[in-house]
Structure 1
Amino acid sequence: MREIALSSVTLDPASGLLREAARAAHMQLPDYADKYDWDTLFYDVYRAGPHIVFQGPPFLNLLEPLKASAPFTGAFGFPRFAARHFGQKKRGEIWLRSDAQTVEIDGPLGRYAIAVQPDLAHLFAGRRVITTLSKDNDLRWIADWVRFYARIHGADGVLFYDNGSSAYGMADLQATLDEAAGGAFPAVAVSWPFRYGPQGGMAGAVNGVEADWDSDFCQTGSLQHARHRFLRRALSVLNVDVDELVLDDEGCTSIFAATEASHRGFIKFPGRWINTHAAPPAQRATCRHADFVFRDLPDEAVCPPKYCLVPGRADRLAYSWSVHNLFGAAANRHISTRFSYRHMRGITNSWKEDRWAATGADPATLPRDAALEAAFAVAGLPRSH
């Protein structure tokens, strides 16, 4: 698979402009400024059918200077109606109806000559695709993740965004995806080297007050990019991380097949934790998914939901693909009781917390997840020992 190019644009310092902070100053932790994306104007500029999509983090204070710049001047509203802006839920997009192959931004933000990247929706047309954003996840985990979804759910496409891994290069990642796919389906790695952004919730809390999830633009950006440049014509799409394995808790139906057959073309499902306990014990340096088959306690504790959808049926343009939600869709309120994902505590590089140290339950009390164990056997996933 060829390398995927992005037409990224960073604000020219000479413009004197930066993106304003999305979070009030009194709710910013000391490392907020280091993590926040102040200067990415566009992640990518690409074709989506008859439109050019200028996609970046939320434009915020940069939107009006953009509207005052060529080629957008006079394009919004009457009489041309050639441009639309979508800025909800950590999303920054301008859709411009144009057949141009190159564009030049010229105005208050400076001058930028930009090549319009090609529409790649044909790569995944009619396919069942898994997509994720990852950083430094071990290559053996990535390979096992692809094989699990191909063999258990019938996935026949992989779109994998890499957020600046230092443990390996993009060539190694692409080779791993190609090997796991075995030449049977397209597997595409995309370099997405942008600041992830400050955390929300208790991870971003100030004086015990939880922060809003208002400043972590990167992952939502990758999902919107996947949606528009690659996956508009996919049969169905599953958004899950490398440490998340979906199962049908009532049988063996593919999550893709169930989503395609559903009324709204959308299924949202919860997760449950799988403990780091293994018999025989697994080691952090060599562990694999199939080492872990014991549920955490309390067993009813759930993780934030993920989802599978049918592009074009479940997601109107005004809706937003995000990490745990399809924002704007009425179906987003419903959580499936049939499907859930197993969240593997041991499959982690502990970028957020030490998940191995976070579990202290007596192994003798942990229930075995027979469905997960059976799925590993069907998928042929190896253990580390």
Structure 2
Amino acid sequence: MGPRVFDIELSGLVLPSEDPELRRDRLGKDGDHDENYDHQYDFNTLVYDCFFDPTSREVLLLAPPLLNFQALLETAEFLIDGETRAPLRIENLSRCSVIAFAAGPEIPRSLSITHAQFGGMMNIGQSHLETFAGTNAIYSISRNNRLEWIQDWLHYYINEHGATSVILTDNGSTDYSPSELRDAIGDMAGLEQAAILRARYPFGPRAESKVNYASLFLQRSMAELCRRRFLGQARAVLNVDIDELFHSKSGQSVFDATVANQDGYVRADAVWVYATQSDNDGFFRHRDHRFVSMTGKPKANRKWCVVPQGPQKGRQWLTHFIGGRSDPVDPDFVMWHCRQISTSWKVDRSVSQEIPLRAELSVEKALDKAFVNAPLLASQAKHAPAIKVGADGDRSKKLIITSMKNEGPFILEWTAFHRAIGFNQFLVFTNDCSDGTDAILDRLEQLGVVKHERNRVLRRGPQKSALKHARSHPLVLSADWIFVSDVDEFLNIKVGDGRVDDLLDAVPDADVIPITWRLFSNDGLVDFDEGLVIEMSHDAERDLDQGGHIRRFAKSLFKPSEFVERFGTHGPIYSEAQLADIKWLSPTGRRISDPKVMTRPEVDFGYDVAQVNHYATRSVDAYLVKKDRGRVNHFRQVMGFDYWQKMNLGGQSDQSILRSVGQTREEMQTLLQDKELAALHSHSVHWYKNRIRDLRQMPEYEELRNNILEVAD
């Protein structure tokens, strides 16, 4: 029987990446950094995690080094459950910071930050000190380490040293699903407790010399988080990575030796061990590492084990020693650092052919003993996951993919509408939210409504990054139909009962159905209104025979296929060789073969069957917040007066979507029966109104507002 596995999404805050004034200073000076430093450096994470410490009755924020961000915090306002709080203290530690607040008599639930340049809300996590109290714990940070390696590592420490708990910080693995990692750990008999911490933040640049200024903030900070939130009451804690095996020459447990040590602290010398061949489907396992360097070089770094409540209580846990200690090593222990147990996610670990190796009998005997009863687990081929190819009639899993930032007031309407018309799976990516959007989606995920993923924004921008990450997501791999949509887009189906199945019945042979946008104006709305957008806005762009524009963009409903090379904003991207075999049909059933009009039809819009109602402007004040947020696709383009004129098109009444209002309201009321979700929605509306007020104090935004109103008059 394996352990219960706590799967914990850290509750942090990332500042908007597009604002140059909200960037963390680099360590060192300009010119001191190598060419990869900026690409790997964490410029924007303000807080990694927020949790309640019941021992001190404090709310603690665990953060990267604040550096210039400390000045931002000094001018920010903090609220805990709506009550103003000032920081009690700020601890600036080695490569991390801790900000402490006094908690009230009740268990705190949320902390919000308001500043002239940013804002956000964090759910306050609970302490797990009691959960892991008295256990022999191991902890590590990992990204895309094979599940076989993780299970081998756990097997070794459970059976050789008596480990009874594990904390694994997962730094954004993509080679397997969250549930697969949970199951791999949950299958390990002998463990009593386990937790996976989802830390979707930059790991940081690793420096091979002082000139480059190593900035591995996450590694130091996660160790400190483990000490304060999870492992501070454990019997003993061993700090080892997935590729590191502690070996005792006398056969004693490293945990027992540490408890018996008068300092409550054991360090071990480390040696690189190497594998030369493998019988495990072409990849190396721990048990294959039976060789050492004949020269003793390169050197490997030491690791340690500590009693958290012993003489070292309160000292920071660093990577290779406890803060303030440089103790001698224990001669009974050696740590074998397995060179080929690596995906090179931190540093290139390819083995030089120039290193002379020799077999090491002591290593071979120990590994044979340790793994004699360990199952040779099946290899996982997760690097190029295959999309499900089901029967032609499969419709049970209809998935929407979207990306969001600061869309809190509009999430429930959009979700409720699309649930009402038949979508039953939602994959939502978010980045840099400050209005509670991420908290709303976290709660919707807890309620089983959506799957929420933090978006690791690449150079291609938020939306294209999300679509890249989505390509290998488990929901995508099992979906029958997929629709990529923004939160201001509503799939308005006009045939049958207005459901997705009615559209699929209308075009039964399609692999891809491009549904044309129909832009809607703000319909005279100036102030932000909490009502349903689909009920308030009826002023649509004109039909062609009424003087409307030709060539309008479409959003595509499509079947997943192994031939889809990537997901585009407006439709799937196929190779030219496969495109001829794809049935790309308009909503009216017409075959589309010209790639130029596949996602941007010129005249055959198919509005009689379906359209995508696109409320790009909503209201004048809502547009101010949209400009503040920035575009998700063409993210480098400024949203100003020109964009308003381009997207705020009207002139023809279209009320066809009103038949879905009743079902949308029913779905929303069902969701809002959850008091926590209702409170989060209310908070986002309050934030939105305050943000409009703040933006109108800025000359640039007030001028834009006035220009829009002048044209409207």
SS of the aligned residue for 1:268 comes to strand
- When residues 144 and 216 of structure 1 are mapped into structure 2, their CA distance, relative to the original with a 3 A threshold, is same
SS of the aligned residue for 1:327 comes to coil
Deviations 1:242-279 (A, max 9, x none): 11000113x0111111111111111122210112224x
Q: 2:308 aligns with which of 267, 290, 311?
A: 311
Amino acid at match of 1:267: V
Q: In structure 2, what is the equivalent of residue 52 of structure 1?
A: 59
Matches within 5 A, 1:14-163: 16-49=21-54, 50-71=57-78, 75=86, 83-99=88-104, 100-108=108-116, 110-163=118-171
Q: Distance in 1 between matches of 2:377 and 2:179?
A: 25
Structure index of larger Rg: 2
Q: In structure 2, what is the equivalent of residue 237 of structure 1?
A: 237
SS of the aligned residue for 1:290 comes to helix
Deviation at 1:282, TM superposition (A): 4.8
Q: Distance in 1 between matches of 2:349 and 2:14?
A: 35
- When residues 283 and 369 of structure 1 are mapped into structure 2, their CA distance, relative to the original with a 3 A threshold, is same
Q: Distance in 1 between matches of 2:207 and 2:334?
A: 24
Q: In structure 1, what is the equivalent of residue 341 of structure 2?
A: 347
Q: Distance in 1 between matches of 2:279 and 2:347?
A: 19
Check conservation: 2:339, 2:351, Cα contact below 8 A: no
- When residues 110 and 355 of structure 1 are mapped into structure 2, their CA distance, relative to the original with a 3 A threshold, is closer
Q: 2:374 aligns with which of 345, 364, 381?
A: 381
Check conservation: 2:14, 2:45, Cα contact below 8 A: yes
TM-score by length of 2: 0.48
Q: In structure 2, what is the equivalent of residue 212 of structure 1?
A: 213
Deviations 1:148-193 (A, max 9, x none): 000000000011111111211221111101112x264112212111
SS of the aligned residue for 1:122 comes to coil
Percent of aligned positions that are identical: 26
Amino acid at match of 1:59: L
Structure 1 residue 323 and structure 2 residue 323: aligned?
A: no
Check conservation: 1:152, 1:375, Cα contact below 8 A: no
Structure 1 residue 298 and structure 2 residue 295: aligned?
A: yes
Check conservation: 1:345, 1:355, Cα contact below 8 A: yes
Deviation at 1:327, TM superposition (A): 1.8
- When residues 44 and 252 of structure 1 are mapped into structure 2, their CA distance, relative to the original with a 3 A threshold, is same
Q: Distance in 2 between matches of 1:383 and 1:115?
A: 41
Check conservation: 1:177, 1:188, Cα contact below 8 A: no
Q: In structure 2, what is the equivalent of residue 79 of structure 1?
A: none
Check conservation: 1:247, 1:372, Cα contact below 8 A: no
Deviations 1:216-252 (A, max 9, x none): 1111121111111111111111110111000113x01
Amino acid at match of 1:268: R
Deviates more, 1:33-42 or 1:62-71: 62-71
Q: 1:11 aligns with which of 1, 12, 15?
A: 15
- When residues 118 and 143 of structure 1 are mapped into structure 2, their CA distance, relative to the original with a 3 A threshold, is same
Deviation at 1:136, TM superposition (A): 1.0
Q: Distance in 1 between matches of 2:185 and 2:308?
A: 23
Structure 1 residue 254 and structure 2 residue 262: aligned?
A: no
Of Structure 1 and Structure 2, which has the larger fraction of its residues in helix? 2
- When residues 62 and 210 of structure 1 are mapped into structure 2, their CA distance, relative to the original with a 3 A threshold, is closer
Q: Give the length in aligned residue pairs.
A: 363
Check conservation: 2:268, 2:334, Cα contact below 8 A: yes
- When residues 282 and 232 of structure 1 are mapped into structure 2, their CA distance, relative to the original with a 3 A threshold, is same
Q: Distance in 1 between matches of 2:112 and 2:48?
A: 16
Deviation at 1:314, TM superposition (A): 4.3
Amino acid at match of 1:11: L
Deviations 1:54-79 (A, max 9, x none): 11111111112213323399946xxx
Q: Distance in 2 between matches of 1:41 and 1:300?
A: 39
Deviation at 1:351, TM superposition (A): 3.5
Q: Distance in 1 between matches of 2:298 and 2:45?
A: 38
Deviations 1:354-378 (A, max 9, x none): 5453244555xx1324255334424
Amino acid at match of 1:60: L
Q: In structure 1, what is the equivalent of residue 684 of structure 2?
A: none
SS of the aligned residue for 2:151 comes to helix
Check conservation: 1:54, 1:93, Cα contact below 8 A: yes
- When residues 347 and 178 of structure 1 are mapped into structure 2, their CA distance, relative to the original with a 3 A threshold, is same
Check conservation: 1:236, 1:309, Cα contact below 8 A: yes
Check conservation: 2:158, 2:191, Cα contact below 8 A: no
Deviates more, 1:133-142 or 1:112-121: 112-121
Deviation at 1:333, TM superposition (A): 3.5
Q: In structure 2, what is the equivalent of residue 268 of structure 1?
A: 267
Amino acid at match of 2:318: S
- When residues 384 and 69 of structure 1 are mapped into structure 2, their CA distance, relative to the original with a 3 A threshold, is closer
Check conservation: 2:59, 2:100, Cα contact below 8 A: yes
Deviation at 1:144, TM superposition (A): 0.5
Amino acid at match of 2:285: R
Q: 1:186 aligns with which of 185, 188, 193?
A: 193
Check conservation: 1:286, 1:384, Cα contact below 8 A: no
Amino acid at match of 2:96: R
Amino acid at match of 2:273: I
Amino acid at match of 2:132: F
Q: Distance in 2 between matches of 1:120 and 1:58?
A: 24
Amino acid at match of 1:345: R
- When residues 314 and 367 of structure 1 are mapped into structure 2, their CA distance, relative to the original with a 3 A threshold, is farther
Check conservation: 1:36, 1:197, Cα contact below 8 A: yes
Q: 2:362 aligns with which of 343, 356, 370?
A: 370
Q: Distance in 1 between matches of 2:124 and 2:348?
A: 42
Deviation at 1:312, TM superposition (A): 2.8
- When residues 222 and 359 of structure 1 are mapped into structure 2, their CA distance, relative to the original with a 3 A threshold, is farther
- When residues 65 and 86 of structure 1 are mapped into structure 2, their CA distance, relative to the original with a 3 A threshold, is same
Deviation at 1:334, TM superposition (A): 2.6
Check conservation: 2:63, 2:221, Cα contact below 8 A: yes
Amino acid at match of 2:294: L
Amino acid at match of 1:343: H
Deviation at 1:26, TM superposition (A): 1.3
Check conservation: 1:268, 1:335, Cα contact below 8 A: yes
Structure 2: 5+ residue stretches without partners: 379-713
Amino acid at match of 1:339: F
- When residues 384 and 293 of structure 1 are mapped into structure 2, their CA distance, relative to the original with a 3 A threshold, is farther
Q: In structure 2, what is the equivalent of residue 286 of structure 1?
A: 283
Amino acid at match of 2:254: I
Q: Distance in 2 between matches of 1:171 and 1:290?
A: 26
Check conservation: 2:64, 2:95, Cα contact below 8 A: yes
Check conservation: 1:55, 1:94, Cα contact below 8 A: yes
Q: Distance in 2 between matches of 1:253 and 1:338?
A: 9
Deviation at 1:88, TM superposition (A): 2.2
Q: CA RMSD in A?
A: 2.6
- When residues 369 and 212 of structure 1 are mapped into structure 2, their CA distance, relative to the original with a 3 A threshold, is farther
